Structure 1
Amino acid sequence: MPRPEDFHREQVLTKIQNVFWIKGYNGTSMQDLVDASGLNRSSIYNSFGNKMELYKLVLKNYQHENKTVLDQICSNKNGLASIQSLFDVTIDYMINDKERKGCMFINCNTEMGNQNILLQEITKNNQETLVQFFKDLIEKGKKDGSIQINKDSITLAYYLVSSFQGLRITGMNTKNRSFLESIVENIIKTIT
């Protein structure tokens, strides 16, 4: 019979997620995970699996956290205001990202996107979720009149995802709020 875990699983995952987020998959050693989690190697392996399984787990956790935040940002606003709020909150996050962590999914795509088919599935799923999220906001905006552009919602959603991801990368190296806000202003003009 397996021994019960004597640690708080979510707290350990948060610590491990932060290590992967800062160092990336290849830059993170098992010793880094041991040090961050306070668990020994066998506890990590027994509770979470190998390093790749653990990485996939924290990516899924990160996706869930982001979805929750996105839903909170966009609640009780019209479609355009929701999109604007999402970009505004992202700028705030980027300005305050002193560790230059960026987006964990973008980091994963650039580091590992062509190396592991299971990671490709996870990152593709995340992108599809983000596209659907923006598509829903665009359609909401078309219904409430805040978005009046007569273009296909899915095309606009892919444009917004591409713009959002580009902004996230730009924000890792640029902390000039007015510059970032002018980028967002141009993005918003494109969809109105």
Structure 2
Amino acid sequence: MTRTKAFNETDALERAMDLFWMKGYHGTSMQDLVDAMGISRSSMYSTFGDKHAIFLAAFQHYKRGQQHAFDFLQESSGFTAALASFFNMLLRDIVTDEEKKGCFIVNSSTEMAWQDNAVKAIIQENYDEFESHFLPFFEKAISRGEVRDTNDPRAMTRFLYVNMVGLRAVSRATDDITFLRDAAKTALNALIS
């Protein structure tokens, strides 16, 4: 007879994600995971695998939870309004991040991507998803004449991505929201000119 699991896998994975988000991969021990997930070590290994497998599952879980981040592109009425909405949403997330956790993807990228091909692949998937939304957005803006047709939509997408990642990374090291707003405003102005 098979034993029924006495825990919710999604809840346990959510707790593991929060732990990795706060402490990073290298700062998180297996005992930390057992304690945070609220499950036995044997249940953790049989359900999720080793620390690396748990980290990758938590990373994918985070990524799935971010799918709503592109909804504003359909809701905004124009190019400038949509980009302003994007930067406002980003700054709002930064300001409300009281624990200074930053972005799980950005944190994982700086800690792990250079040494872990599985993490690098997830980060590339994340960029590809970002590009799949923003490249057509910029192409449409150029075709409508909202942006000069001399602009390269792929370069604009990459510029926006790098600025988003940069803002998220720097936000962990500063309490100066004016600094971040100035950077976001400058990036917005560069994209709409």
Normalised by the length of structure 2, the TM-score is 0.90
Residue 74 of structure 2 corresponds to 75
Residue 116 of structure 1 corresponds to 116
Asked if 1 retains the 8 angstrom alpha-carbon contact of 2:70 and 2:133, the reply is: no
Asked if 2 retains the 8 angstrom alpha-carbon contact of 1:102 and 1:169, the reply is: yes
Give the letter for the 1:51 counterpart.
K
Give the letter for the 2:176 counterpart.
N
RMSD of aligned Cα (Å)? 1.8
Residue 104 of structure 2 corresponds to 104
| Structure 2 residues without counterparts, runs of 5 or longer | none
| Structure 1 residues without counterparts, runs of 5 or longer | none
Per-residue Cα deviation, 1:118-140 (whole angstroms, up to 9, x for no partner): 11111122122223322132224
Decide whether aligned partners of structure 1 residues 2 and 142 sit closer, same or farther in structure 2, where only a CA change above 3 A counts: farther
The separation in 1 between residues aligned to 2:150 and 2:2, in whole angstroms, is 59
Alignment of 1:144-163 (within 5 A): 144-148=144-148, 150-163=150-163
Residue 141 of structure 2 corresponds to 141
Alignment of 1:1-192 (within 5 A): 2-68=2-68, 70-77=69-76, 78-148=78-148, 150-192=150-192
Deviation at 1:149, TM superposition (A): 5.3
The separation in 1 between residues aligned to 2:144 and 2:64, in whole angstroms, is 28
3-state secondary structure, aligned to 2:61: helix
Asked if 2 retains the 8 angstrom alpha-carbon contact of 1:80 and 1:141, the reply is: no
Deviation at 1:103, TM superposition (A): 1.0
Per-residue Cα deviation, 1:13-37 (whole angstroms, up to 9, x for no partner): 1111000000011110111111111
Deviation at 1:141, TM superposition (A): 2.9
Percent sequence identity over aligned pairs: 29
Deviation at 1:80, TM superposition (A): 2.9
The separation in 1 between residues aligned to 2:148 and 2:2, in whole angstroms, is 59
The separation in 1 between residues aligned to 2:2 and 2:44, in whole angstroms, is 14
> 89-98 vs 30-39, which deviates more?
89-98
Normalised by the length of structure 1, the TM-score is 0.90
